[in-house]
Amino acid sequence: MPPSKSCPALLISAPSSGQGKTSITAALAYLHRQAGKHVRVFKIGPDFLDPMILERASGNPVYQLDLWMTGESECRKLLYEAAVAADLILIEGVMGLFDGKPSSADLAQLFDIPVVAVIDASSMAQTFNAVAHGLKTFRLSLPFAGVLANNVASARHAEMLLDGTPKGLNYFGFIPRKEQFALPSRQLGLMQAKEIHDLDHRLASLAESIKATDLATMPGSIQFKAEPEIEIEPSLRGIRIGVARDLAFSFLYHANLDLLNSMGASLVFFSPIADRGIPACDSLYFPGGYPEMYLQELEENISMKESILAHFKANRPIYAECGGMLYLLDSLTDKNGYEGKMLGLISGRAFMLNRLKGLGYQSWDSSKGEVRGHTFHHSESTINLTPSGYARRTSDGQAGEPIYKLRNLTATYLHFYFPSCPSFAAQAFLPQNLSFLGKSPTVA
């Protein structure tokens, strides 16, 4: 096994969601990238939107770190690989520092990564110090580096925040409140990076403010240990997978795509919105996203719908999750009442809601083993198909989201993390006629 590798690293957390973790992490990555540093950024938890912003800022793919979903071994492997190539590793936490089981604090403590807490000070003065003190002392074994005040109204406001600073608390400085620093959001979180036309300008402006703080200083180095290599069976060798990827279908884990590649599959991306048909492929992958925002485009792309239907009738594999599953139904109705006709591969209808319908970690005991993931959606579906099984909620062990199987099609609301069970991914994308009849795959 190779020796451990050292690399400067920092984990950006907060007392809660909405404090500015993503903005600060992205701007810090942007700042060091502009200085010529190779920056790798990770996101704790099962998030798709924040990583899009972080990728734009760092110029590198962003992977998830999650002690339950990805597992400790995979987290260690990802961090070591980043340390080998990077000048700086930044990790954005999830929710509040101690929220969740496991939490951002748990990961920071396990890998001895110093934590900076971003605190939105817009509605407080001296209480800022009480919050900061609580975060620092709640778990004394945590490598707590200090705090950064965000959304500070003025120099006088900054002085008030420092009135009564507890002894031993490291204060990195403050970020002023400016409209151009805020990142626009919608129901599931931040807007997608491609939708924010002035994102680079926002990041550059915020990075200039970070320059005036001690946070701009390169953090200390951390030792990251290597993990034994796990051999991946090339069970998808020669299989060509068409992956839907555009503004309607964009919720993709890089680790999922990496795994499919390592199993021998070749991936070709296409747009159900803009392309006239699917590419030559053996299997289709429809990830989650925002199909409800592009109902008319999806509905009117008849040639695309016909090509997918032909693929389905040929009994070739289709794997769809969350928004991808909604695209397979008869119709999807947005919050304004517009009903768009979808593919009709699965008999059923879905409706967008003004409230969260599904949230949390879940796992499924598939025939190939336990596969882990999460659910997060604002829609409700009526599906006229008996589920082949139900996932299990980690919160209480009760039945979670259904998993639907129809011929060679698999669909669910869950976003699965394929590396948690590679054989599940192989089963989902391997055409039955290839696995049992030994036929050759499609060649582009």
CA distance linking residue 249 with residue 142, whole number of Å: 38
Chain center to CA of 408: 27
Asked if residue 249 lies in contact with residue 323, where contact means CB atoms within 8 angstroms, the answer is yes
The encoded tokens of residue 219 equal 């953090």
Distance CA 240, CA 279 (A): 9
How far are the Cα atoms of 8, 19, 138, 158 from residue 109, in angstroms, in the given order? 16, 22, 13, 30
Sign of CA dihedral 49, 51, 52, 54: positive
Q: Which long-range contacts (CB under 8 A, 24 or more apart) does 208-212 make?
A: 209/27, 209/175, 209/176, 209/178, 209/181, 210/24, 210/27, 210/28, 210/31, 210/175, 211/31, 212/173
CA distance 312 to 264: 23
Residue 247 token pair: 């503004």
CA dihedral 247, 253, 254, 259 (to 10 degrees): -130
d(Cα 232, Cα 105) in Å, to the nearest integer?
A: 31
Structural contact between residues 249 and 324, judged by C-beta atoms closer than 8 angstroms: yes
Side-chain half-sphere exposure of 389, counting CA atoms within 13 A: 12
Run of H or E residues at 72: helix 72-85
| Secondary structure of 319-357 as H, E, C letters | EEECHHHHHHCCEEECCCCCEEECCCCCCEEEEECCCCC
Q: Tokens at residue 426, please?
A: 């192989």
3-state secondary structure of 393: strand
The whole-angstrom separation of Cα 444 and Cα 442 is 6
The alpha helices in 163-253, defined as continuous H runs, are: 199-211
Residue numbers annotated as active site: 322
Dist. CA 173–CA 228, nearest whole Å:
41
